[in-house]
Chains A and B, each alone.
Chain A
Amino acid sequence: MAALGRLAVCLALLCAVFAVGASVAGAARRRRDLIDAGANAAYAVFGLVAVAVAILLRALLTHDFSLEYVAAYSSSTLPVQYTVAALWGGQKGSLLFWVFVLALFTTLVQLQNREQNRALMPWVTAALMAIAVFFLALLTFVTDPFELLATPAREGQDLNPLLQNYWMMIHPPSLYTGYVSASVPFAFAIAALVTGRLDDQWIRSTRRWALFSWFFLSLGNLFGARWAYEVLGWGGYWAWDPVENAAFMPWLVSTAYLHSVMIQEKRDLLRVWNMVLVLLTFTLTIFGTFLTRSGVISSVHSFTQSGLGPFFIGFLVAVILVAGGLVVWRLPALRTRGTIESFASREAAFLFNNLILVGIAFAVFWGTVFPVLSEWVRGVKITVGPPFFNRVNAPLGVVLLFLIGVGPVIAWRRATPRNLRRAFAGPLVAGLVAAVLLRLAGVPFGWAHATFALGVFVLGTIVQEFYRGVRARQAMLHEPAARALARLVGKNRRRYGGYIVHVGVVAIFVGVAASSAFRIETQQTLAPGQAMKVGRFALRFERTESREDAHVASLAAVVAVDEGGRRVATLRPEKRLYKKPQQPTTEVALRSRLTEDLYVVLGAYDPQSGQATLLAYVNPLVSWIWIGGAILALGTAIAMWPSPLERRERAWAAGRVGAAAR
């Protein structure tokens, strides 16, 4: 079966090379047969890579330890869900999974565009397949997932215990989906640049893909944060690790694009800037992959490090040269004559929002690469850790939060003083009142205080928009409030979906600010029966419980939690020892509430004395990060859902195609 898997990858590479050549030649010579052959070869790539993935998955599930990959990343006792996750748990498997998702998206794009974008599609196929060629060449010539061991192993080395967690089942696929789907707008941008069709068509065709990519990048980052929170056991969820940064940067640039593209659609401005943002988002996904795989910067994600760095840096340089060259070549055609008419306009607000988002992305990039720069210039190794990123990004984040409130409600073109009063008087008063009340309640001035007050301001603008929209419908159509609200959102999903996304973002901001600024923590070594205090909770270490199976041995400290003299929970923080890699891990015990999380970690246990060292944290409002993520997902789903008008247009187009076929 391994030979079949390798053959499938090799054939997929040949088909991808053919798809690139045929698509380019077909487009250049205007030959439909070649274009169709290129598209069919791309379908074949998907089929062949799917076969390769199925073979590797089968090898994992049947514990075929003759394969080096299966022996290195699974074991016979690994639970089945993590055996499936082992597909992307290691270097080779994750690259194969990446190219599978890419081939799947290429197929979907081709199916979507059978009857449209005929001039762009050969170049889109060529660009997507060129990316596939790179990954398939790595899998064929450099890092073969079907490599056989000289002597089959009797047992596998098991999946890294840190990855044996529910969130790791969904964090990497979400992130890969976000990364890979960024290839689609990139491919359309390349096609638009090559063909000179620089109007809005390529943007309209990829709007949902850009949103889809952003959605999965958002989820991927949040799932990763949740994984870190539950698994790493240090009380936090974001450590500004280089690989976290690598996933955060394309998200920031993609967010900037989703805002600035509205200016192009509405006012035909910022064509060059939007093109740059799309190309930069994709480039950053490759840069992120380079960081993860190269080991050039030390990271907690070292389980995926390899010698692939030079290949990725080469690909990165090629992408930058080709994309940059095309932009420079088309610069005269990309320039628009329109202009932003006033600082007090939505265009200007979105532009400053873009500036801050890209500024934060740059700050994160700069902090990530600065240790390499320092070593290169001074020959001195330094660390750029959380204190740097927090200090640099906090002020930029607060400015961004303010702009989240301004951008969506300020008037297009030029806001008059009357427009400004109408849009902002209420929310500003609400924000100021909140600032005063928070101070009176004992919240000290600082970034967290500013975040809470600005959060109220932003929510004020959003609530006001919903309220005015509902009132307008009620006045005109005499609808009940609930129906007016549902139809208001249903009729303009993109706009109101966007507002809902902003509510989610505010919740995330508030959760991050509160849990960063007001966290309480304590560490104590306790004998059975002894208690410690953290915040308003008393934690009594009662006893230990242990259990063991063939895969893992665990020791839990049973901790009774009292609040105001009343028992509110019994928590069981654990230490686990995974038997095959002989690696200990921490299993956090959580009591989550909307107001705060009580987070308890078993730091150490001494069997001789029976004493346990407990680390306990009270993380205020941290749940709002995850709730914000759910709200953000809801808003994005609403924004992506086709409107009745779009559905009608699609049905009409399908009918036209059907009639033509008959």
Chain B
Amino acid sequence: MAKPPAKKAPERSEKRKDAFSIFLDEVSRAPITIPILAIITGLIIGGLIVALTTEEVYAAWSHSPIEAIQVGLRAAWSSYSALFTGAIGNPARIVDALKGGDALEIRRAFNPIFESLTKSIPYIFAGLAVALGFRAGLFNIGAEGQIFIGAITSVVVGFALTGLPAIIHIPLALLAGALGGALWGFIPGLLKAKTGGHEVINTIMMNYIAFRLSEYLLRGPLQRPDSFNPVSPFIQDSAKLLRFFGDPIRFNLGFFIALGVAWLVYWFLFKTKWGFDFRTVGANPNAAKYAGMNIVVVTIAAMSLSGALAGLAGANEVLGLNYNLALAFSSGYGFDSIALALLGKSHPLGVVLAALLFGTLRNGALQMQVSAGIPIDIISVMQAMILAFIAAPAIIRTIYRLRAPSAVEEEIRVRGWGG
């Protein structure tokens, strides 16, 4: 798990009053503190739930409470170590494999960590989609639907076009996915900008349309001729994203595309004048209007771009992993990405880190279920906890006795002064 450097607030720094210490104060109240504590708290509570749902703990309780606690700790430990081996790998196995020198065994030993990276790809794309929307003041709940549409358009380009070299076919298929998602974002964006229809409602509705549309297509026009299942044909080899290692490692080019897109989003938001438009509209639409920005255009563009990013998540699933499209393939990436964008504070770097965390947890959870018998849902509960803590930072501040950020108090005082 990638862990960004956390800077804890020096608690008593308020005593010094010069400008530099105010600046230090701001830095020390870095946005990273709360997410990290939220994750830790989520892990602890997850462990508690594991312990509380283990029957042996209750059995031990009848002997003595201490024994119950020991059993509980052991249960939590075993599930987290299963989570770790599932997500990162088993160190002993890696060492053995390297000693043995068998290529397949080495790949198998290293597979967990690569699978974690692979699982984070759709999270990166979808998280960026939601984060971009947040930055422009838009709540895109429709990432899930946009993922579906992006996957559909991408898979069609992937299997229908033949005889293209990969260097052309792959970009075309990715572009198709982006355009599909963009269309699904454009529609609620247009409704918001022109009619004031709220994007939350409309993206939810667009999700339903996307789900049913994909179902119809997979049972009808797009169904593979030789299959009774609702699946699409496989894409051409020329549209498949390069895998860097042999089986079973599925790690592919998509990961680097995702990182590249994250950098692009960062550059767009913070270095270009369009990004400035987006951020201003998001931070204060009134000031944006005053500054002569076109809110209608920004709203539509932001929703379309957000949709395009989500569409890329869908395209990547099809081109990098599954090679075809099946029903309900996305398993909620679009919804998780809302949590993820919040966790990443809507910053591309934060989103990438949060996506790596989510991908790792998801991957490890499978192993946890297999070897420790802990249901995969515990991970969902944990993610929910983390999100709740992020959304209500006061809880974390109370638990860890952190001081409220100066900005909030400042705001209150500013309001007091404003004539």
- Asked if A and B bind, the verdict is no
A-side interface residues toward B, CB under 8 Å?
A: none
B-side interface residues toward A, CB under 8 Å?
A: none
